[in-house]
Structure 1
Amino acid sequence: MFLEPKHLAKLAIFKSLLFSEEPVLISSIATDLGISRKTLLRYLDQLIADILHYFPDFDLRFKINHGKIIIFTIEEETALYLLSYMRLSYIEETKEFKMIHLLLDRKIKNVTTLGKELHQSPSSVYLTLKKVTYLLDHFDIQLDFSTHNRISNFVYEEKKLRLFAYYFYWLTYGGIKWPTDWKENHWAQPLLGKTQKHLISQLVPSKQNQLHYIGMIWYRRLLLRIQPIQMDEPYRTIIATMTSIHDLTETYLSLPLGIDTTYQEDEHLFINIFLRHLVGDIDTATQQIEMMAQLVTLDNPISNFCQSLLSNLIKEFSLISSEETHAFFFYHLILFFIYIQYYDINLPSSFFSEIVFEKQPPRAELNTQIRYFLTDFFIKDPLGETFKLTDFYLNLLVSQIYTYIDMSTAHPLRIATQFSKNALGEELIKQRLRKVYTSQVVVFTKDYQQADLVISESYEGLKKEKDYFYIDSLTDNAAWSRLFNYIQERILDRNF
């Protein structure tokens, strides 16, 4: 976000060194980054200077020996913190970040004043404004320095500005530290009751930080009381149904006092869907199943479209999934289509690829099949034109469907066993493996011709296409360790 090529290159170099267990070849890094050896060494000198500047008390030293860069080993969690903090520091120094942060915080009288506040020349201000405007356009947010707009320099829809503020601050800070001028206790604590503090404390720290960020943005916007949130149909009924099953304002964030009663219900529903869009794994499997059971009974275009899409998907790809997996995907389809319809924004993929949906590298053939299926479905379904997707969102939906197909298509490793030294030996092998692997991962067969792996005490004379593992003693812990590692490798080869 806003980073120059040299900063991106230095971060890539830093990442290579931090997470490599072996010395890294200078020529290899230069090739990967598409830069010369001379440029890489210059960036490395700058990187070392940056490390000394940002982490003066941290002992992190580099050594170049025979064309290799050696970095002293540190713990992975510490390495991730150093990399994230370095990235944050680079972003905070950019002109674009400083401008957006200032404009989100208060109204600036005119462009001349903006330049003085940021210590930029007029030409620099206009160049920065051009880059910032390009980003804001994706959220239908415009800048206005006229006297007509007395409270903010933004011309916007409240829901889109809140979404932008979250992405902007979370992608920048990512929980590493609190944004400048934000005081956690002042902004977040009024939203958290005793029960909520307890529930939030059970979440992983980064998810706790996400909730605090969302809470602070929400609370700050409510205090300004510039624009009310509007929650209309067809979204209102769906969100109200989900909220009736699991109200996130009771679980995580309280509705602040003093909100105009006219808008309380809309704000209540908004934060429930806002949290579900931005914070993963916030509803349990049981709650998702209950939500699906109620949502499919609604005469609602979004719910009807998602039901039709899912049923056609199952038929087209002959999918068999558990009730939990079925509800999980239906739940996420509902969230996906509410997201693209309700916010109605064109996300800049380069800016948000880290946070919105992770793109998987699907198998080319399956990827093509999913695209053909979706193209045909959107043409034939009566609601297809209503939910027509841009290329960016189509790619995201393909990725989601690929995940669902993968979850619904089991590829268990089939194992045959042979152990005659102990009458219960084969059963012991099976029981130990069942303690570690579910039936979706490993199944047992008596037909060795159908087996992918044969575990035996004897020479079997198997063909090369059969995997074979020799185990001589059931009390040999080293042999068991090798067996588990061997099975794990076979599972990874089959599924990834």
Structure 2
Amino acid sequence: MRNSFMGKKEQIKFEIFKTIVFSKSGLHFHELMKKYNLTKSTLSRYVHDLVKEVEETFSGTVQLIQNSQTGTYQIQTKEAYSVGYLIDYMHLFYVRKSGIFFILDTLLKKQYKSIEAMALDLHMSSSSVYKQLRLLKEMLIPFGGKISFDQLSSPLTGDEIGVRLFSFYSYWSVFKSTAYDNKNYPETWLQIKEFEQYFDHADSLSESQQSKLRFIQLITLRRALWQKNYITLSDEFLADIAYFDNKELEILPLLKKHLTKEQYQKERALLLYGVRGLIYNLDSPETKKKIVEQYQYSSLEIAKSTANLMDEIKKEFNVTYSEEGYYTFYFYLIILLIYIKHVDIDISGYYRNGLSFHSIIDYDDTNEETFQKITQIIQQQAFYPKIKRQALSGVLPILSLTIYSGIYLNKKAGSLSICVIFNDNLILADGIKKIILDVYNQERIIFTNDVMLADLVISDSYEIMNPQTEHFYFDERLNPEQWGKMIDMINQLLYQALFSN
């Protein structure tokens, strides 16, 4: 993650911790040395620190140990913690230790007349505060934000939408679903029941979805009510996002009570559009369809741009849109195109694992060509020259991945043809077929009696078949490993079939 709130040393230790957490049987010292290109003495210091820091973070319920028998480093827990819990809380420990987020959090809560006054209040040297502020200023640049100690209601100034986005991504990247210290704000500011009830899936939102909604509400209330920083939206921006407000339900009544009617409507419109781009799956398929249809029936230029882009994708890649696939693709695409048109900020630095095309599940040479074609199509769109140069390197990958995902959503999956022949126990062949269909999608599996037409032959005897056909020699029906190996082979072949068409 480019915009990390951790120091370099903390980042390396955090990566080492994650590597050990994900390892099934632990990792040897020399494996860690090689992976992170560290000297023996440096890694020894880091591991020594990690042992103490893991103990401190989890109050002794989690420990980093070296297995006395294998010599590997492993994570040992006294309770059943999930991987996500371990990683997120260890990340939070290092962020708090680094200090830079502490400075940001303080700036968002308090106003100081000068850097010296801030340093005095925080019991830090002025030089340390200057250093942290310099790093924060660099992180704010893409968001159009600045840090000012003039007599203003907030030290974070500049583009208001940019400042709010920066605040959201900062808090989310640091805390995610972990506990956030709320002692500086009214308790009601983090109660989201009224806000979440607007959305179809309010009763089933996960902890991470609720956490995102909570941060969005907190930032909005703080900027608008506490610090009197209001958003400015053009009439065109308001028109482009109007259809995301599709219910009469009230949201954030505190805003409505204290803001003018015009300002409240702007805040409401931005919120109901913004949360759809920041939080997954708030709406039912029916609501997404309703929103999309309103755009389709409108005369908005952004709606025409979305439809035209989807038509070009359809022609170039020979895509046959399913009804659900079309509405889903359109829904997410228009959210992104509105963002590019009116906000156009590169937020890729807050993706913890980056936005490399190579990280997608089925990336190969064919898909490299696909992404090249997608890039060419994007570059031919009327909106492309209007993307800010400083945002292009982040916006283009996100748009390309969105388009690729839309293609995949509407892609007809391949199938696997299997011939099962069992000579030792005749009924067992039907038993094998039953097990395969219990495990896999029946639309993806085709059974055939013709060995020459099969992609995979499962048999207890040698069979003459096409050279490209795979053969699983199944001769130990009472051996559980044989069943496992059969499933593994089907997994591999079905994976290839699913992603090769």
Q: Match of 1:329?
A: 329
The amino acid of 1:451's aligned partner reads A
Task: Give the letter aligned to residue 132 of structure 2.
Answer: T
Separation of aligned partners in 2, 1:363 and 1:61:
37
Is residue 454 of structure 1 aligned with residue 457 of structure 2?
yes
Once the two structures are TM-superposed, the CA of residue 374 in structure 1 deviates from its matched residue by: 3.0
Cα gap change, 1:402 to 1:442, in 2 (>3 Å) = farther
Aligned-pair CA distance for 1:171: 0.6
Residue 368 of structure 2 is matched in structure 1 by: 367
Shift of the alpha carbon at 1:112?
1.1
Please give the secondary structure, in 1, of the residue aligned with 2:191: helix
Q: Could you tell me how far 1:301 is from its partner in structure 2?
A: 2.0
What is the rounded CA distance, in whole Å, between the counterparts of 1:449 and 1:111 in structure 2?
A: 78
CA distance in 2, matches of 1:346, 1:113: 33
Alignment gaps of 5+ in structure 1 = none
Residue equivalent to 2:50: 47
Deviation at 1:427, TM superposition (A): 7.7
Whole-Å Cα distance in 2 between the matches of residues 470 and 397 of structure 1? 46
Q: Which residue does the alignment assign to 2:350?
A: 352
User: Distance in 1 between the 2:256 and 2:466 partners?
Assistant: 73
Partner of 1:416: helix, strand, or coil?
A: strand
Q: 1:183 to 1:461 in 2, by over 3 A?
A: farther
Aligned in 2, Cα 1:377/1:103: closer, same or farther, shift over 3 Å? Answer: closer
- 1:109 lines up with 2:107 in the alignment: no
Contact 1:173–1:179 (CA under 8 A) maintained in structure 2: no
Alignment of 1:466-481 (within 5 A): 466-469=469-472
Equivalent residue for 1:70, pick from 63, 70, 73:
73
User: Are the counterparts in 2 of residues 234 and 302 from structure 1 also a CA contact under 8 Å?
Assistant: no
Out of 225, 243, 257, the residue aligned to residue 223 of structure 1 is 225
Q: How does 1:290-439 map to 2 (within 5 A)?
A: 290-347=290-347, 349=348, 351-354=349-352, 360-361=359-360, 362-379=363-380, 381-386=381-386, 390-418=392-420, 433-434=436-437, 436-438=439-441
The CA distance in 1 between the partners of 2:386 and 2:220, in whole Å, is: 30
Between the aligned partners of 1:39 and 1:194, the Cα distance in structure 2 is: 48
Alignment of 1:75-94 (within 5 A): 77-94=81-98
Hey, what's the Cα distance between the residues in 1 that align with 2:84 and 2:292?
Answer: 38
Q: What is the CA–CA distance in structure 1 between the aligned matches of 2:199 and 2:341, rounded to whole Å? A: 33
Q: Which residue of 1 aligns with 2:165?
A: 163
CA contact (8 A) 1:145 1:153 kept: yes
Q: 1:230-245 residue pairs with structure 2 within 5 A?
A: 230-244=232-246
Q: Residue 458 of structure 2 contacts residue 472 of structure 2 at CA under 8 Å; is this kept in 1?
A: yes
- CA–CA distance in structure 2, aligned partners of residues 440 and 59 of structure 1: 45
Compared CA separation, residues 314 and 174, structure 1 to 2 (3 A)? same
* Equivalent residue runs for 1:156-195 within 5 Å: 156-179=158-181, 181=183, 185-189=187-191, 192=194
Contact 1:410–1:440 (8 Å) recurs in 2? no
Match of 1:33 in 2: 36
Q: 1:405 deviation in Å?
A: 2.8
Q: Distance in 1 between matches of 2:302 and 2:387?
A: 9
Larger RCO of the pair (alpha carbons < 8 Å, separation 6+): 2
Flag the 1:254–1:453 CA change in 2: closer, same or farther, 3 A.
farther
Identity of aligned residues (%): 23
Matched AA of 2:74? I
- Compared CA separation, residues 195 and 304, structure 1 to 2 (3 A): closer
Mapped to 1, the partners of 2:397 and 2:374 lie a distance apart of 13
Q: Which among 14, 18, 21 is matched to residue 15 of structure 1?
A: 18
- Is the counterpart of residue 131 in structure 1 residue 135 in structure 2? yes
2:191, 2:204 → 1: CA distance? 17
- 1:267, distance to aligned residue in structure 2 (A): 1.8
1:58 corresponding residue in structure 2? 61
CA deviation digits over 1:22-71, x for unaligned, max 9? Answer: 13111111111111122111111111122233333325251265883333
Q: Does the 8 A contact of 2:64 with 2:75 survive in 1?
A: yes
Contact 2:413 2:498 in 1 (8 A): yes
Contact 2:92–2:175 at 8 Å: present in 1 too? Answer: yes
Distance change in 2, residues 1:65/1:356 (3 Å): closer
Closer/same/farther in 2, CA of residues 215 and 443 from structure 1, 3 Å limit:
farther
Task: State how far apart, in whole Å, the 1-side matches of 2:51 and 2:336 are.
Answer: 43
TM-score normalized by structure 1?
0.85
Equivalent residues of 1:454, 1:469 under 8 A apart: yes
The 1-side partners of 2:356 and 2:324 are apart by 22
Aligned-partner Cα distance in 2 for 1:254–1:494: 52
> Measured at CA, do residues 402 and 453 of structure 1 come closer, stay the same or move farther in structure 2, by a change above 3 Å?
same
Query: In the alignment, what sits opposite 2:276?
Result: 276
Find the counterpart in structure 2 of residue 266 from structure 1.
266
Question: Shift of the alpha carbon at 1:302?
Answer: 1.6
Does residue 214 (structure 1) correspond to residue 216 (structure 2)? The answer is yes
Give 2:490's aligned residue.
487
The residue identity in structure 2 corresponding to 1:36 is: T
Find the aligned partners of 1:171 and 1:156 in 2 and give their Cα distance. 22
Distance in 1, Cα, partners of 2:193 & 2:480: 53
Check conservation: 1:413, 1:452, Cα contact below 8 A.
no
SS at match of 2:441: coil
Quickly say closer, same or farther: Cα 1:480–1:307, change in 2 above 3 A.
same
| Superposition CA RMSD, Å | 3.6
- Asked if 2 retains the 8 angstrom alpha-carbon contact of 1:417 and 1:426, the reply is no
- Give me the whole-angstrom Cα distance separating, in 2, the residues matched to 1:439 and 1:224: 57
Amino acid at match of 1:35: L
TM-score (norm 2): 0.84
Q: 1:449-491 deviations in whole A, cap 9, x for unaligned?
A: 4432234566423345312346689999987666444422322
